[in-house]
Amino acid sequence: MALSTRFLLLLLIAMVSAVSVELYNEWRLRRERGEEMRRIVIAQAEMVSGELQRIVAGMEQLLVAAANAPEALRGDATCNAYMGRLQQAFAFVSSIGVTEVSGAVRCLNEPFQRGALSNGDRRHIQLAIKTGRFAAGDLFVDRVTGARVFGFAYPIKDAATGRVTAVVFAALRLSWLAEQFQRKPLQPGTLIVVADTQGRIVANLPGPDRSGQSLPDDWTLLIKAAAPGLAEKGPQSFFGTPDQILAYIPAHASSDALNILVGLDRDRALREVNAASVRSRAVALVALGFGLLLTLLLVKLLIQRPLDEILRVVREVDAGNLDARTGVRRSRGEVDRIAVAIDHLLDEIGRRIREKQVVEDQLRSARDEAVRISAAKTDFLAAASHDLRQPLHTLALMAQVLSRPHQPSQAARSVQIVRRAVSHLAAMVETLVDVAQLDSGRIVPRMQPVHLAQVLSTIHNEFAAVAAEKDLEFTLMRSHDWVLSDPTLLSRIVRNLVANAIKFTPAGGCVTVSCSHTPRGLVLSIQDTGVGIPADKQREIFEEFRQLGNPERDRRKGIGLGLTIVDKLAHLLGHPVGVESTPGAGARFTLTMQSCAPGFEQAVPAREPSLHIDARMLVVEDDVLVAEATASLLSEWGAKVTVAGDVPDAIELLKVASYDVVLCDFRLPSGSGVDVLRFARDRATGTLCFLVTGDAPWNIESISGGGGFPVLRKPVAPEDLVQALTPLSALRHGPAHE
């Protein structure tokens, strides 16, 4: 098959696709236009309904005002004159007057023969008398004016008995109603029909006035429907309309007692779509003929040379030369564009290959980083396991020593060793929990003005004795500056930096804490004369379990997490940490903070060192060793202690005896300690209740279950327990107990 024939067939196939798309677009446009017509006709029906409701509401207000007027209660010329003034004041009123309950007209705005007119057969008059409320009727012919009107009525009631004594009635001018609809922003060719409950036309537009005539039968069925809706109707000779999309609102679906029908001319609404369709088809035919002729010309003039270049590039690429290009830069024909596209495609392939190499390099780097992190985690766990075993090993050995007879001096020394091991173990657990909190992002700083003098004073009091014991000169330069920080977290940072400086400074050295102002903010410096840190290790010291100069893992020098916590807390607070050091000449750590206006200082309450407890206490703990140790300590302080191992035992004890204090573990084998504390507080509101748990700090708020119980975290230091028990009214101060 010739090349030109192939291109012609391809063009025809493309045109078939284009024609299919065009036909689909035309069908979709017609459907969307139909949906739009439905939305428009519904909106216009609702607009007409709203206008009718406004008119009916206005008529009701007029009749209510007339019924309450003193003139309406009189049947003389004064009433007639009053009704005449009302009719003149309101253009939509055809006639207005008062009718007796018997139907006889009492007064009217038009001249009438008294006693000769009766409205007893009018539906709206009957409804007003029967219901005692405002009523709308049907279309009728006014007996005085002879015009077709629509009636409304409102009862006049006796103030004493509440009985209907007369009815104020008014007739709506239909010509005025039609004028109101003509002023609305309606679509061209919109048909509006308003009919009463009997199916008689009240008003219609456009076209000749059909008021008083009955609706066609198929349209009458619509106003008897249960709810508003849409209907498609063919040509209607009665109104002289073509195909219609008709929206109808039956009288019982609105509050105006009038049926509404609004129609749109389908052909008129689709006229633009049909015209556009004809134009589109004509353009498509012209384009097809021109395209066939142009295709023949372009095949002859512009295809052969680019095809040769394309075939050459294809052969070279097939041979493995991805640098081959057609060199075509013109775009006068389809084949030229194909050649240019092939060049661009080859450029894109080369770019993708280079990007792939970059991504592969990044993946390799990410894999290496993941391996490094995994190894670091393994080292972290191994170091943590090793460091935790040391105090546990010490405790096991001391337990063996204490289990045998020994001298009092040896007992005191063993107790001191046990205390130090427990202290080290608690410190390590707390430090590991702090690292876990920081890594999980659960710590949220509470930024506020912080007085550095208070923070540094606490640090000095805490470490002065430690430095003196190590024969170090500890100098702290006072500062009265205020910074924006979290006081608790800031104290933790400074405490860790000072502790680190004291640990790694040999005897006879000095540690200095000072403050200075720089353009970046206030800088807090902790400088020591210790061993120093090599330049290539100054970032490594902030990693977990990294300690320089401590290969023997001496616990007195910590577990290698102090600077890790410093780095994480400083990052959380936005306080950059810097380090300057020369091996053998000491190190200087800096913390840069933002200065701020002074705030309010809070006094720290002092703790009672010890108490003598004369109280009944219940300890609920499922671990026998913990229960015995707690009971022994409390008994030594003078308390009368009872121990329970689970929830049922504790509740039985609370039922038969009263206790001043209840210490209850949170996790018990048969339930939650919160249940025990709630039972104890319900039995005696004055009982001190404490929840004891080893859970992580971020779970403490949820542990109490909204009960408001104080929480003591394991391991509970004796000082913390003493502080918790100070509110007891039965406590009295006594000598300290070891």
Domain boundaries, the chain: 34-268, 443-593, 616-725
Strand-strand pairing, 577-581 and 616-620: unpaired
Choose among 565, 561, 531: nearest CA to 546.
561
Can you give 50-106 as a three-state secondary structure string?
A: HHHHHHHHHHHHHHHHHHCCHHHHCCCHHHHHHHHHHHHHCCCEEEEEEEECCCEEE
Residues 67-117 pLDDT 10s = 888 887 777 788 888 888 888 888 888 888 898 888 888 888 888 777 778
Give the whole-angstrom CA distance, residue 379 versus residue 410.
38
Which helix (H) or strand (E) covers residue 467, if one does?
Answer: helix 452-469
pLDDT, mean of residues 314-342 = 74
The average confidence (pLDDT) of the chain is: 77
Most confident of 166-180, 249-263, 724-738: 166-180
The CATH code of domain 443-593 reads 3.30.565.10
Q: What integer pLDDT is reported at residue 634 of this predicted model? A: 87
Residues 274-286 pLDDT 10s = 777 777 777 777 7
Amino acid at 594: Q
Q: What integer pLDDT is reported at residue 513 of this predicted model? A: 92
Q: CA dihedral in degrees (475, 480, 486, 492; nearest 10)?
A: 10
pLDDT, mean of residues 224-234 = 82
Choose among 460, 457, 477: nearest CA to 468.
460
301: which 2 tokens? 């003039």
CATH number of this structure's domain 616-725, picked from the four choices 3.40.190.10, 3.40.50.150, 3.40.50.2300, 3.50.50.60: 3.40.50.2300
Would the pTM count as exceeding 0.85? no
Ranking 131-135, 136-140, 269-273, 548-552 by mean pLDDT, the lowest is 548-552
Is 144 in a helix, a strand, or coil? coil
- pLDDT exceeds 60 at position 243: yes
- pLDDT exceeds 90 at position 295: no
Give the whole-angstrom CA distance, residue 200 versus residue 563.
94
- pLDDT exceeds 70 at position 399: no
For the chain, the straight-line distance linking the first and the last C-alpha, in angstroms and rounded, comes to: 110
Give the whole-angstrom CA distance, residue 55 versus residue 176.
11
Q: How many C-beta neighbours within 10 Å does residue 471 have? A: 10
Q: What integer pLDDT is reported at residue 606 of this predicted model? A: 43
CATH number of this structure's domain 34-268, picked from the four choices 3.30.450.20, 3.40.50.720, 3.30.413.10, 3.30.300.350: 3.30.450.20
Using CA atoms, how far residue 243 sits from 187, 237, 466, in Å, is 15, 11, 102
Residues 488-525 pLDDT 10s = 888 888 888 888 888 888 888 999 999 998 888 899 99
Ranking 256-265, 504-513, 608-617 by mean pLDDT, the lowest is 608-617
Choose among 355, 342, 346, 271: nearest CA to 310.
342
Residues 117-150 pLDDT 10s = 888 888 888 888 888 888 887 788 777 777 788 8
- pLDDT exceeds 80 at position 18: no
**Do residues 250 and 258 lie in contact, with contact meaning Cβ atoms separated by under 8 Å?**
no
Q: How many residues does the chain have?
A: 738
Ranking 149-163, 433-447, 482-496 by mean pLDDT, the lowest is 433-447
- pLDDT exceeds 50 at position 608: no
Most confident of 182-196, 414-428, 569-583: 569-583
**Strand-pair partners of 192:** 205, 262
Choose among 493, 514, 502, 504: nearest CA to 563.
493
431: which 2 tokens? 């430090």
- pLDDT exceeds 90 at position 264: no
